Every structure is written in C-alpha cells, then in structure tokens.
C-alpha cells in the first residue's frame, strides 16, 4: 500500500518539476550567491504561483539569512528556501469540530472545483471515524447536484436532507439543522450552489444561509470551507479573497493538487489572505482528501527520490 507521504510526493510531481527542479538547476548554474541568482529565483517563484507577497517575503528572509550566516555558495540557497517556506506555511490547523454536536460545515465555491466530491470525501472520513453524518442539498439550482449528493450519501451511509429543485436553499438548511438536533447528528455538511464569486445576488444567497445557521445553532457554522481548484493558480487567490469578504471563510480545501504545476498557490493564499489551507485533494480515491501539513508539504516537494 502506498504511504500518504509517497502519494503526496507523487501528486506534487508537476509542481516539483516546475519549481524545485528549476531552483536546483539555478543553484547549479550559479556558483556564487549574487543579484542575478535572486532575480532568477524570483521569476521561478512567481511562475509557480507563489504570488508577489509570498515571493517578496521569501526573498527577504533568504537575503537576511545569507547575510547573517555569511553564506556565499549558491547551493546553500535551496535548503534555506525550504526552511523559509516551512516557516511561512506555519503550524497545521485542523478542521474545527464542535465539542457539543452537531458540528456544522458550510461548503462554498465556484462551479467545477470539485465541491460536492470534496463533501463526499469528508463524509467518508467522518463516517470512518464513527460519526453520524448529515448531508444537506442546499444546491437547489441543479437537480443533478442533489442526485450527486444522494449518491455520496448512500456511499458513505450518510443521511441526506433535500427539497425539490428550485426550492429556497435557506429553507433546506433550516430543516436539516432541525433534523440534526433531533437525531443526535455529529456532523452536518452543507452543499451550496457553485456560484461565480462575481455574482452579487448569489453571494447574498449564501449569506442568507449563513444567517439561518447562526440563528439556529449558536456558534455555527464552525467551518466555512472554500473549495478551490489548484490548477487555476492565481484565480484561486482572487476567489478566496472575494469569498472571504462575503462569507468569512475559515479554511481552504485545495483540490486537484495532483494535476497542476501551480502548487505554490498554497503559499500565496496563506501569505496574502491569512486563510489556512486545511485540506488538500491529492487524487480521485475516496480517501485522497487529507489534512494539510506545511512540513509534510515542503518535505514532499523538496525531498529527492
């Protein structure tokens, strides 16, 4: 059986090729640490979607370290970069689980990012932990979305609360929360319509859902989880920024990390928005949604076979 770390390494292959291997080539080409090296390193970081702010911070930290430790060999920069990336990502921040059930997780995001699949994988995880899970079909705009959630419900032995297509999503959520409290549910995971972050009326709809949750269960939602597609790079950052302003995102689930060379977006999200990446999708299997750990991420990125 492939270990999680090896699976993570495999999923980061494209990012490693477009980022770490270029850094390795750079330090090999430059025997000494000079301004040209820093300029080329900046370009590599930006191309890997690390983002302007995170790139600037990393370069500043490396420059300080080079001066402080009086480094002059170019190959010393790679190890220093890894260390500073790890520091920037900070400690692991797990999903919030309420001590007094139910825990309510509101899942938001634009179309096509893998939102419902992420919900299904979360339901599987909680079910495997012995928790009673309730899935809420608050994406009432598409009948297919309700059907997809029902498939995941059957697959994970989770109950699904739904209304007819076209119903008021906030009403579905209200009924689901009432049911969860009556039935002693541990985890309530709410699917919402995949909405463009630029559509004001749809963003207001999600705010209405959030108000219903806050009214019915004090302290909820315990997580507002934004699902973003890693392959979209900087566009993922813009989505996170706008959803954060509207819905108060508490964590990111970054999907499709195995299909992109833009894994550096994790650093950009962390540095520019201060929203922790809590989950990463590293494959198609039901258990390929994992807690994000910055130390593991950088190790998988930098360690050679």
Chain segment 30-46, per-residue pLDDT in tens: 878 889 999 999 999 99
* pLDDT attached to residue 305: 54
- Residue 253 host element (H or E): strand 251-255
* pLDDT attached to residue 190: 97
Q: What is the DSSP string of 73-133?
A: BTTHHHHHHHHHHHHHH-S--PPP--SSSPEEEEEE--TTS-HHHHHHHHHHHHHHTT--E
Number of domains in the chain: 2
Confirm whether 95 is domain-assigned.
no
Rounded distance between C-alpha atoms, residue 106 and residue 249, angstroms: 9
Q: Do 76 and 185 fall into the same domain?
A: no
* pLDDT attached to residue 182: 95
Q: Whole-model pTM?
A: 0.92
Rounded distance between C-alpha atoms, residue 202 and residue 140, angstroms: 12
Q: Do 20 and 157 fall into the same domain?
A: no
Which strands make up the sheet holding 289-291, listed edge to edge?
Answer: 159-161, 133-138, 187-192, 103-108, 223-229, 251-255, 277-281, 289-291
Rounded distance between C-alpha atoms, residue 190 and residue 135, angstroms: 6
Rounded distance between C-alpha atoms, residue 138 and residue 77, angstroms: 49
Q: Do 113 and 176 fall into the same domain?
A: yes
Rounded distance between C-alpha atoms, residue 63 and residue 190, angstroms: 46
Task: Write out the residue range of the structural domain in which residue 34 sits.
Answer: 4-89
* pLDDT attached to residue 298: 92
pLDDT lower than 70: segments of the chain: 1-2, 195-200, 304-305
Confirm whether 96 is domain-assigned.
no
Q: Could you tell me the CA-to-CA distances from 226 to 75, 110, 195, 276, 288 in Å, in that order? A: 38, 9, 12, 11, 17
Q: Do 167 and 267 fall into the same domain?
A: yes
Q: Do 128 and 243 fall into the same domain?
A: yes
Q: Do 83 and 141 fall into the same domain?
A: no
* pLDDT attached to residue 282: 87
Here the CATH number for the domain that contains residue 255 is 3.40.50.300
Q: Do 186 and 278 fall into the same domain?
A: yes
* pLDDT attached to residue 1: 45
Query: 114 near 194, Cβ under 8 Å?
Result: no
Rounded distance between C-alpha atoms, residue 188 and residue 177, angstroms: 8
Q: Do 127 and 79 fall into the same domain?
A: no
């Amino acid at each position: 059986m492939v270990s999680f770390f090896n699976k993570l390494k495999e999923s980061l292959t494209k990012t490693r090729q477009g980022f770490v291997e270029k850094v390795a080539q750079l330090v090999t080409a430059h025997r000494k640490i000079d301004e040209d090296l820093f300029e080329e390193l900046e370009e590599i970081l930006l191309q890997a979607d690390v983002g302007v702010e995170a790139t600037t911070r990393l370069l500043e930290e490396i420059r300080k370290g080079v001066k402080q430790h009086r480094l002059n060999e170019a190959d010393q920069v790679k190890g220093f970069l890894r260390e500073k990336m790890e520091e920037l990502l900070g400690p692991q921040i797990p999903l919030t689980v309420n001590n007094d059930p139910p825990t309510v997780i509101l899942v938001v995001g634009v179309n096509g990012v893998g939102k419902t699949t992420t919900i299904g994988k979360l339901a599987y995880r909680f079910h495997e932990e012995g928790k009673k899970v309730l899935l809420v079909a608050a994406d009432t705009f598409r009948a297919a979305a309700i059907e997809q959630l029902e498939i995941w419900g059957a697959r994970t032995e989770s109950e699904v609360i739904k209304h007819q297509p076209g119903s008021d999503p906030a009403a579905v959520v209200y009924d689901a929360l009432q049911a969860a409290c009556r039935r002693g549910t541990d985890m309530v995971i709410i699917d919402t319509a995949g909405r463009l972050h630029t559509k004001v009326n749809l963003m207001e709809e999600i705010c209405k859902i959030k108000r219903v949750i806050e009214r019915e269960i004090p302290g909820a939602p315990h997580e507002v989880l934004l699902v973003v597609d890693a392959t979209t790079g900087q566009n993922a950052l813009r989505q996170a920024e706008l959803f954060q302003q509207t819905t108060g995102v508490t964590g990111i689930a970054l999907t499709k990390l195995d299909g992109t060379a833009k894994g550096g977006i994790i650093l950009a999200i962390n540095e520019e928005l201060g929203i922790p990446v809590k989950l990463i999708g590293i494959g198609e299997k039901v258990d390929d949604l994992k807690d994000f750990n910055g130390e593991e991420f950088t190790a998988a990125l930098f360690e050679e076979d």
